[in-house]
Amino acid sequence: MNIEGRDNMKKALLLIIIVLLLSGSMNTAQADTYYFDIYNHWAEMDIYQVTNNLKIFQGYGDFTFRPDRNISIAEYFKVLYKIGNENGVVNLDTRGTVNYSDITISHWAYTYVLSFNSYMIQNPSVDYTIYDVFPGDRLNPNSFITRQQAAALTAALNLPPVSAMALPFTDIIESNRFYNELVTLYNNGIILGYSNNEFRGAANLTRAEAAVLTKRIYGEAAYNKVNTMSGLAFSNKDFDNGFPFFYTYDNRNLTDDDFRYIKAVTTLEYLSFGGYIFPGDEPLYDTNPIKTLNELKSEGYFNVFGLNYYLLKNDNLTAAMKLAYSNEILNAMIADTTIAISNRLLLFHEILKNGVDNKAINYLVGLKNGANDIFIQSEIDFLIFKHYMSTNQMAGFYELLVRYNNLPLNPAAFVNVNNGGVNITNSTVMNNTDRFKLMEQYILNVTFGLHHVGFSNEAEAFITGYYNRLISSSLYGSLSNDDYRNIIGTIKKLKLINQ
């Protein structure tokens, strides 16, 4: 091999080595980081949680975390800002000011301090600001933060506890400016103190303690994402899926009107999924499906379910027309025993938005009695809830809701509350997870209903009572806080409302 050949081979090998090194670097960047100075440390697992999973904390470039070092005020503000921002409660503020003489906009943590203080000022449940935590005209952002200062700031992200116990710390007295905040932190398991029942608020907070504290408050702040108070929750079964024709058409015996109807519905389905009718493809689709459906309706086409359903969903109808079309569907369902129950539920999800006639309730109860699936039965119950709400029948709705109080912890008991005097049975095979999830759905929907009709205190008492019974039961007491996440988050939000 000549010199030129050897040089080319060396270049090729060098290129391969560089590619391998770059590939290894990229993989390393995506992998978890491990710190050699926290092995068997009491906070080891929490440190890995906040650095590798939550990514709200960082170690050092030499693969150390230095857990027993103290953390500065500025560093702690940064961590709290990230927690609040990721959970949708602390917004970035770049326009306000921080009224300390020793921190200006040029300081790396200025925006974190400003944003967190703006959150504290705007949050009605927080009755103090950073100026109460750090009084005077200097923040001393590079100084170490004490355990009490960190607790006071952390408490701004805290939510009300589900239950309350007395504060056990012997070195915290009731006259402490942040006594109530320390109580709520303790009851939420955010601060636990030392084994001798001391809190040691004047001591500096270590990085390990900060990791544990922020991991816990991250979990607490995440309850803000629980979205159970904005509406009724329906089954995971997607009854609002697909574009049914609401009639079994025989392709061998289609009339011209059948072709027009099917083409219009197929076009709506195609367009709903982001489809685009390309030039030249127009013959395959209906260029004005809504017009076609309206023409078919005016011509008396027989498929009332399909015509009215797709017009309700896609046409720009007045409220009066929506109500009329919805009642037409209801009356047609009452007269027609052949339409599948899945299609009936799909139709009800649409027509109940428009305040149909009250005979819908008796019809739904009868439909529920004839069903043999507990998930369909529960779906019908929640459709009845929806009818009461859409027709603003709050007194009748409240009378129904209070009947769900103190039931046996069995889904069948919930299904049988509104049964028209007939014991409802089903053949659904359920495991404990299914049973819990279905009861949870009832509990959350009744809770929302009580709040909706103006009885927020009763809603809180209702859901708290079931929560206490569930966690004390032999079947459901071993479930984790993650399993109870929606229930716990709802209780916390109601406590905020009822304060």
The whole-angstrom separation of Cα 111 and Cα 10 is 52
Dihedral over alpha carbons 431, 436, 441, 446 (to 10 degrees): 140
pLDDT tens per residue, range 469-488: 999 999 999 999 999 999 99
Going by pLDDT thresholds of 50, 70 and 90, the confidence category of residue 127 is: very high
* The token pair that represents 304 in the structure block: 């009332």
The whole-angstrom separation of Cα 144 and Cα 161 is 29
**Do 95 and 221 fall within a single domain?**
yes
* The token pair that represents 274 in the structure block: 């982001």
Query: Does 67 reside within a domain?
Result: yes
pLDDT at 21: 43
The whole-angstrom separation of Cα 403 and Cα 387 is 17
**Do 410 and 314 fall within a single domain?**
yes
The whole-angstrom separation of Cα 117 and Cα 122 is 9
**Do 320 and 185 fall within a single domain?**
no
Going by pLDDT thresholds of 50, 70 and 90, the confidence category of residue 424 is: confident
* The token pair that represents 391 in the structure block: 């027709």
Query: Does 163 reside within a domain?
Result: yes
Lowest-confidence segment of 11-20, 146-155, 243-252 by average pLDDT: 11-20
Q: What percentage of residues in the chain have a pLDDT greater than 90?
A: 81
The whole-angstrom separation of Cα 172 and Cα 21 is 55
Q: What percentage of residues in the chain have a pLDDT greater than 70?
A: 92
Three-state SS at 397: helix
End position of a domain, from candidates 225, 247, 275: 225
**Do 459 and 359 fall within a single domain?**
yes
Q: Which residues of 74-108 are buried (b: 16+ CB within 10 A; e: fewer)?
A: bbbbbbbbbbbbbbebbeebeeeebebeebeeebe
pLDDT at 29: 46
pLDDT tens per residue, range 184-214: 999 999 999 999 999 999 999 999 999 999 9
Average model confidence (pLDDT) across the chain: 91
pLDDT at 66: 96
Going by pLDDT thresholds of 50, 70 and 90, the confidence category of residue 313 is: very high
Query: Does 388 reside within a domain?
Result: yes
Tell me the C-alpha to C-alpha distance, in Å, between residue 74 and each of 66, 109, 205. Answer: 17, 6, 13
- State which amino acid sits at residue 386: K
**Do 377 and 471 fall within a single domain?**
yes
Query: Does 27 reside within a domain?
Result: no
End position of a domain, from candidates 225, 243, 258: 225
**Phi, psi dihedrals of residue 72, rounded to the nearest 5°:** -80, 165
- State which amino acid sits at residue 115: S
**Do 311 and 218 fall within a single domain?**
no
**Do 342 and 490 fall within a single domain?**
yes
pLDDT tens per residue, range 211-236: 999 999 999 999 999 999 999 998 76
Going by pLDDT thresholds of 50, 70 and 90, the confidence category of residue 105 is: very high
Range of the domain at 165: 35-225
Name the more confident of 63 and 6.
63
* Helices vs. strands in the chain: H and E counts, helices first: 20, 0
The whole-angstrom separation of Cα 145 and Cα 73 is 5
pLDDT tens per residue, range 7-34: 555 444 544 444 444 444 444 445 788 9
* The token pair that represents 292 in the structure block: 């076609």
The whole-angstrom separation of Cα 210 and Cα 208 is 5
**Do 50 and 176 fall within a single domain?**
yes
**Do 70 and 190 fall within a single domain?**
yes
**Do 99 and 218 fall within a single domain?**
yes
Query: Does 221 reside within a domain?
Result: yes
Query: Does 409 reside within a domain?
Result: yes
**Do 220 and 307 fall within a single domain?**
no
Q: Is the pLDDT of residue 318 over 80?
A: yes
Query: Does 280 reside within a domain?
Result: no
**pTM to 2 decimal places:** 0.86
End position of a domain, from candidates 225, 248, 273: 225
Mean pLDDT for 321-329 is 97
**Do 445 and 321 fall within a single domain?**
yes
State which H helix or E strand residue 366 sits in. Answer: helix 359-370
Going by pLDDT thresholds of 50, 70 and 90, the confidence category of residue 276 is: confident
Query: Does 422 reside within a domain?
Result: yes
If one counts the domains in the chain, the total is 2
Lowest-confidence segment of 27-31, 147-151, 170-174, 320-324 by average pLDDT: 27-31
pLDDT tens per residue, range 359-403: 999 999 999 988 888 999 999 999 999 999 999 999 999 999 999
Going by pLDDT thresholds of 50, 70 and 90, the confidence category of residue 242 is: low
Secondary structure percentages of the chain, helix, strand, coil, to 5: 55, 0, 45
Going by pLDDT thresholds of 50, 70 and 90, the confidence category of residue 281 is: confident
